[in-house]
């Protein structure tokens, strides 16, 4: 009875919010992100009929392209993706414009402002502008200043700035950057993107927690023994060595994506479903989060770096042998840490976060392990009854699994664990949108719920400051442990948990 | 009583002075308070039932233009007392005829245009223009004007203000002068909506004027004869005019619930074997049920064949892609306490029969309440696999429906509705 066709009754039914007339200006339009993520996401919105007719996308970069060249480049880069929707792509191309801009050149930005006025008239975009800074983080501050100087951020109700990660390198640089950006625009105009928050399953955590009565009463220190948050990649550093060497797993993943997941899983219920109410709660919980040992932070963090691996047929290079990587690099490609949240709900519950490259599986998941039963009445088919676990899968195979004990068939009364499964695919049968689709739409709709606010960013950097200081001032205290490519990180990472008689879940 | 938007009684001004007055008002408020940059909402609000009930001394005034509980209760007790069907529309001529009106009695206050539900005022319409026709056809046009600043509970520091204008007078006077006044007052740079808050059978000349002059039209096909409703929808499509229907909007939970049943891929195959669909409605106004069946048939690619009548039910036959027939029926049911919106769907039964595997025959039942589900599962349905859902029915006021529409639509006719209208119109025209 399985049918692979999409649900015909669902077609056109999703009532999505309508994006108002809008001009989206992408700085860094010649870069990878534009053709890999942004334009495909905008085209997807177009296919979903969520792009209004009064719309424009203005690509900006230093390259001296014309509108037509920009359109051609995008058509070539996206040829595979658009092959099934060529007619729609040709209609979509009418929205594309290009203006050569170097954000450091005042004259260029002034010229851009004039061009935007013309495009606004041509496309009737009602003066609404969203500036997407897909440029090097070094230019966030100066970029915002240039936009302000050209008067492009003056109307706080009609202009917004979207900023990609990383937002700062540490607490002080993030604060400094926040100050600069906030001197150019109101906080309400600034959208700091974290594409993990655009994932359906991350948003589903809010629904799971706050739209069901059964979870919230047990979502606390009385019932939960520990929480593990994992984001693993199978790929190595690929062609991003230049960026990665200055960043590492802490700055690239832990401080933003994993910490946002931590915030969503641990925040208090907001008073109402409102962007500021949700961001208030996330910020509050992040401010209450501390490394498990702030005095001796090396005791609660393990860093690792992948070594060569694979086999004769498919050998894998170690990190230090990757092109563009310093052969003596001490950049971590793996990090695991333990944190506590000092509040009534979570006091004493350890949260373990880990992320790394070249691990055996690409996945993102949050595992809530519940406390053991007070008395073991039944013999288990394994040594002890397994504790209940709720596993929320962020990617792939988005969904959730609940593990609990049942009677093992047979004459005895022995228990064994079974799994209750929820899968997005099986329940909805439709792929969920790419994170960028949701986040681009939200930014143009002026909905900041899924974007990080300045205090969240600062709290997240502050949390890891002892580790960053250690890495910079006394790196020998936080050494890099080697791990073979395609294994689950260094063995020291297992010891981080085994001290507490806990083990990483092997997904 | 609904919240009054204006703190002061609107000022009566000659119509030609209103534009100037409002311009001055906003200029004097300074740049920071130039009024909401949102939309204009023109409301055709005859409130004939309320006017009659007040003038017939069946309820106390003032006339507010809202379908308040007092108005509904008075109308329902009249229906009951005079033996009219319980599902009689609150816009029905039969009901109006029961109310003896002293047209000369002008003592009751007419406050139409000053009362709007918070659901609408919090959307901060920049200008609310109410057309308030009175009984006496030729009574002179009077215009009133006021500013309003709804308090935003979530952000008390920020008040966004708008203004409201009431154009009151006899229907003929409105036709001769009132419509021009409205045209002058609609703000050119902002989207303008026209909400026809009345039966679609009312004042066809005025309706036609609005339907042709480019405003985003909001109608409610729960109010008006089926033929008139279909004609209006048909014309809107052929004239390529935007149209939004509250009756279609109210079907959303039914469409969503039915789609939800088939979200799991393992159930999709059932859709290829649908053989029967029954839709139960309150009373005999078939439009909403017709929309539901038309939507299903359009989505599943059925071809319409013919209609017939069986007892009170309307039978509509379709052909599936594999040439097999699908029998659908709209069944009017008498109900004890019908909704204020006529002909609302209260139950849906969809039967999927797989001839080579009868064990997999499935009956899907959606009911507005458990009792309706029980009714639909009778008659041998228990032999099949049953999938049942209760569709939550929250009968909102029309204002709340309009607010939902205004906050979710840009005014153009939804493609889904357009597709539905085409099939519904085809079916309706074949009914004898």
How many other C-beta atoms lie within 10 A of the C-beta of residue A207? 9
- The pLDDT of A137-145, averaged and rounded, is 89
Q: Return the closest-CA partner of residue A251 out of A472, A496, A484.
A: A472
Nearest CA in chain A to B253: A13
Domains of chain A, by residue range, sit at 16-164, 197-434+452-498
| Residue B158 predicted with pLDDT over 60 | no
Residues of A numbered 410-469 whose beta carbons fall under 8 angstroms of chain B's beta carbons: which are they? 425-430
Q: Does A176 touch chain B (CB under 8 A)?
A: no
Across the interface, whether the CB atoms of A15 and B262 are under 8 A apart is answered: no
Is the pLDDT confidence value at B288 over 80? yes
CB nearest B262 (choices: A7, A12, A426): A7
Please tell me what DSSP assigns to residue A364.
E
A22-27 sheet: strands from edge to edge: A96-100, A55-61, A22-27, A129-133, A159-163, A190-192
The pLDDT of residue A202: 87
Cβ of residue B415 closer than 8 Å to a chain A Cβ: yes
Nearest CA in chain A to B417: A12
pLDDT at A37: 92
* B28 confidence band (pLDDT: 50, 70, 90): low
Instruction: Identify whether the C-beta of residue A210 lies closer than 8 Å to the C-beta of residue A474.
Output: no
Looking at the complex, report in whole angstroms how far the Cα of residue B268 sits from the nearest Cα belonging to chain A. Answer: 6
**Domains of chain B, residue spans:** 11-245, 252-390
Q: How confident is the model at residue A395 (pLDDT cuts 50, 70, 90)?
A: confident
Q: Give, in degrees to the nearest 5, the angle at Cα B257 between B256 and B261.
A: 115
pLDDT digits (tens, 9 = 90+) for A154-192: 988 899 999 988 888 999 999 999 999 999 999 999 999
Check if the beta carbon of residue A451 is closer than 8 Å to that of residue A443. Answer: yes
Top-confidence residue, B104 or A54: A54
Helix, strand, coil in percent for chain A, rounding step 5: 40, 20, 35
| Weakest-pLDDT range from A224-228, A468-472, B291-295 | A468-472
> What's residue B152's pLDDT?
57
The fold of the B252-390 domain, in CATH, is Dihydrodipicolinate Reductase; domain 2 (3.30.360)
- How far is A299 from chain B, CA to nearest CA, in Å? 45
Residues of B in contact with A128 (CB under 8 A): none
Residue that is written with structure tokens 């506590």 in the block:
A340
Q: What CATH number should be reported for the domain whose range is A16-164?
A: 3.40.50.720
Supply the pLDDT for residue A145: 93
Which of B266, B267, B300 is the closest to A8 by Cβ? B300
The most confident of A426-430, A442-446, B390-394, by mean pLDDT: A442-446
Looking at residue A307, its pLDDT comes to 94
Higher-pLDDT residue of B373, A53: A53
Residue A459 makes CB contacts below 8 A (sequence gap 6+) with A283, A286, A287, A289
Residues in chain A: 507
Whether residue A362 has pLDDT greater than 60: yes
pLDDT, position A2: 40
Give pTM, 2 decimals: 0.78
* A21 close contact with B: CB closer than 8 A: no
Residue with tokens 């599986």: A361
Q: What is the mean pLDDT of residues B411-430?
A: 92
State the pLDDT at residue B15: 84
| Confidence tier at A4 by pLDDT (50, 70, 90) | very low
Q: Which residues contact B269 (CB under 8 A, 6 or more apart)?
A: A1, A2, A3
Both structure tokens of A117? 């006025």
Question: Counting Cβ atoms within 10 Å, is residue A63 exposed (0-12), middle (13-18) or buried (19+)?
Answer: middle
B296 touches chain A (CB under 8 A): yes
CB B169 within 8 Å of CB B14:
no
pLDDT tens profile A364-379:
999 999 999 888 888 7
Q: Which of A108, A257, A376, A481 is catalytic?
A: A257
For B297, the enclosing helix (H) or strand (E) is helix B287-300
Phi, psi of A59 (to 5 degrees): -80, 135
Inter-chain CB proximity B269 and A8 less than 8 Å: no
CA angle A96, A98, A99 (to 5 degrees): 150
Fold type of domain A197-434+452-498: Dihydrodipicolinate Reductase; domain 2 (3.30.360)
Give residue-wise pLDDT tens across range A228-240: 999 999 999 988 8
Q: Which two tokens stand for residue A411?
A: 């004459």
Percent of chain A with pLDDT over 70: 98
Residues in chain B closer than 8 A to A1 (CB atoms):
266-267, 269-270, 360
What chain A residue is nearest to B416 in terms of C-alpha separation?
A12
So what's the pLDDT on residue A1?
Answer: 37
A257 catalytic? Reply is yes
3-class secondary structure per residue, A451-481: CECHHHHHHHHHHHHHHHHHHHHCHHHCCEE
CA–CA gap between residue A59 and residue B120 (Å, rounded): 39
Inter-chain contact B415–A7, Cβ cutoff 8 Å? no
The number of C-beta contacts closer than 8 angstroms across A and B is: 66
Q: CB contact, 8 Å: B26 with chain A? A: no
pLDDT, residue B1, reads 44
Find where tokens 């440029």 sit. Answer: A135
Give A261 to chain B, closest Cα distance, Å: 27
pLDDT tens sequence across A94-104: 999 999 999 88
Look at residue A483 and tell me whether its pLDDT is greater than 50.
Answer: yes
Determine, for residues B259 and A9 on separate chains, whether the beta-carbon distance falls below 8 Å.
Answer: yes
Q: Does B271 touch chain A (CB under 8 A)?
A: yes
**Model confidence at B55: pLDDT above 70:** yes
A203, two tokens: 């948003």
Same fold, A16-164 and A197-434+452-498: no
Of residues A485 and B389, more confidently modeled:
A485
Provide the β-strand partners of residue B12.
B144
B153 pLDDT above the threshold of 60: no
Look up residue B77 and give its two tokens. 């007790």
Judge whether residue A81 has pLDDT over 60. Answer: yes
Mean of pLDDT values over B330-342: 89
Closest by CA to A335, choosing from A259, A442, A425, is: A259
Predicted pLDDT at B225: 94
- Give the minimum alpha-carbon distance from A26 to chain B in angstroms, rounded to a whole number: 25
Residue A196: exposed, middle, or buried by beta-carbon count in 10 A (0-12, 13-18, 19+)?
Answer: buried
pLDDT in tens, A64-77: 999 999 999 999 99
């Amino acid at each position: 009875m399985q049918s692979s066709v999409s649900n015909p009754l669902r077609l056109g039914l999703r009532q999505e919010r309508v994006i108002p007339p809008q001009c989206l200006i992408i700085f860094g339009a010649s870069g990878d992100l534009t053709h890999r993520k942004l334009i495909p996401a905008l085209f997807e919105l177009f296919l979903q009929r969520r792009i209004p007719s009064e719309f424009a996308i203005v690509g900006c970069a230093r390259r001296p392209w014309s509108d037509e060249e920009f359109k051609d480049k995008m058509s070539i880069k996206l040829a595979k993706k658009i092959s099934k929707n060529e007619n729609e792509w040709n209609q979509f191309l009418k929205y594309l414009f290009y203006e050569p801009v170097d954000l450091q050149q005042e004259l260029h930005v002034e010229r851009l402002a004039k061009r935007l006025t013309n495009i606004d008239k041509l496309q009737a975009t009602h003066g609404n502008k969203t500036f997407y800074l897909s440029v090097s983080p070094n230019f966030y501050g100066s970029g915002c200043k240039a936009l302000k100087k050209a008067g492009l951020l003056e109307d706080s109700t009609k202009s917004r700035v979207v900023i990609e990660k990383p937002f700062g390198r540490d607490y002080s640089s993030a604060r400094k950057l926040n100050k600069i950006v906030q001197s150019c625009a109101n906080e309400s105009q600034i959208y700091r993107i974290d594409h993990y928050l655009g994932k359906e399953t991350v948003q589903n955590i809010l629904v799971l927690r706050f739209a069901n009565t059964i979870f919230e009463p047990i979502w606390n220190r009385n019932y939960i023994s520990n929480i593990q948050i994992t984001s693993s990649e199978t790929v190595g550093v690929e062609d991003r060595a230049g960026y990665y060497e200055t960043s590492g797993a802490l700055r690239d993943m832990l401080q933003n994506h994993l910490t946002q997941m931590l915030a969503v899983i641990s925040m208090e219920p907001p008073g109402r479903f409102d962007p500021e109410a949700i961001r208030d709660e996330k910020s509050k919980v992040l401010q209450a989060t501390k490394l498990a040992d702030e005095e001796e932070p090396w005791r609660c963090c393990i860093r690792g770096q992948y070594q060569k691996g694979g086999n004769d047929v498919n050998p894998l290079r170690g990190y230090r042998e990757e092109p563009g990587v310093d052969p003596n690099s001490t950049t971590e490609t793996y990090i695991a840490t333990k944190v506590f949240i000092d509040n009534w709900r979570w006091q004493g519950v350890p949260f373990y976060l880990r992320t790394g490259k070249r691990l055996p599986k690409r996945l993102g998941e949050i595992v809530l392990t519940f406390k053991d039963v007070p008395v073991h009445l039944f013999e288990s088919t394994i040594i002890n009854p397994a504790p209940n676990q709720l596993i929320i899968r962020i990617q792939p195979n988005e969904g959730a699994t609940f593990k609990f004990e049942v009677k093992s068939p047979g004459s005895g009364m022995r228990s064994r664990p079974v799994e209750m499964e929820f899968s997005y695919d099986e329940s909805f049968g439709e792929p969920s949108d790419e994170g960028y689709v949701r986040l681009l739409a939200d930014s143009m709709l002026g909905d900041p719920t899924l974007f990080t606010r300045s205090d969240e960013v600062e709290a997240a950097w502050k949390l890891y400051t002892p580790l960053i200081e250690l890495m910079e001032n006394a790196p020998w205290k936080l050494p890099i442990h080697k791990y073979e490519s395609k294994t689950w990180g260094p063995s020291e990472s297992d010891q981080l948990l085994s001290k507490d008689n806990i083990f990483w879940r092997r997904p | 009583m609904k919240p009054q938007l204006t703190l002061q009684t609107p000022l009566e001004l000659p119509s030609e002075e209103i534009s100037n007055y409002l311009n001055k008002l906003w200029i004097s408020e300074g740049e920071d308070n130039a009024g909401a940059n949102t939309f204009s909402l023109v409301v055709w609000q005859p409130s004939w039932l309320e006017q009659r009930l007040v003038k017939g001394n069946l309820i106390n005034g003032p006339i507010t233009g809202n379908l308040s509980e007092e108005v509904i209760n008075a109308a329902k007790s009249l229906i009951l007392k005079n033996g009219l069907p319980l599902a009689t529309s609150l816009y029905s001529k039969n009901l109006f005829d029961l109310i003896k009106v002293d047209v000369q009695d002008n003592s009751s206050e007419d406050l139409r245009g000053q009362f709007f539900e918070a659901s609408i005022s919090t959307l901060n319409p920049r200008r609310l223009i109410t057309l308030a026709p009175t009984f006496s056809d030729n009574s002179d046009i009077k215009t009133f004007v006021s500013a309003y600043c709804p308090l935003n509970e979530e952000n008390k520091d920020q008040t966004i203000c708008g203004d409201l204008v009431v154009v009151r007078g006899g229907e003929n006077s409105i036709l001769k002068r009132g419509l021009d006044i409205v045209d002058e007052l609609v703000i050119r740079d902002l989207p303008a909506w026209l909400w026809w808050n009345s039966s679609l059978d009312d004042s066809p000349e005025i309706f036609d004027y609005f339907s042709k002059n480019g405003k985003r039209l909001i109608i409610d096909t729960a109010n008006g004869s089926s033929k008139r409703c279909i004609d209006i929808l048909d014309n809107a499509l052929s004239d390529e005019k935007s149209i939004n229907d509250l009756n279609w909007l109210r079907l959303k939970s039914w469409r969503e619930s039915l789609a939800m049943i088939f979200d799991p891929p393992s159930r999709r195959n059932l859709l290829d074997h649908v053989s029967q669909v029954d839709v139960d409605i309150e009373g005999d106004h078939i439009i909403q049920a017709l929309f539901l069946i038309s939507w299903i048939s359009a989505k599943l690619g059925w071809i319409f064949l013919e209609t017939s009548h069986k007892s009170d039910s309307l039978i509509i036959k379709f052909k599936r892609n594999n040439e097999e027939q699908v029998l659908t029926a709209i069944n009017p049911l008498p109900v004890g306490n019908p909704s204020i919106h006529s002909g609302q769907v209260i139950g849906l039964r969809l039967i999927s029969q797989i001839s080579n595997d009868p064990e997999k025959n499935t009956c899907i039942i959606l009911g507005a309440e458990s009792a309706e589900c029980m009714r639909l599962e009778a008659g041998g349905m228990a032999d099949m696999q049953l999938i049942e859902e209760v569709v939550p029915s929250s009968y909102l006021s029309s204002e709340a429906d309009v607010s939902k529409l205004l906050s979710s639509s840009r005014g153009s006719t939804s493609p889904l509705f357009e597709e539905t209208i085409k099939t519904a119109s085809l079916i309706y025209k074949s009914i004898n």
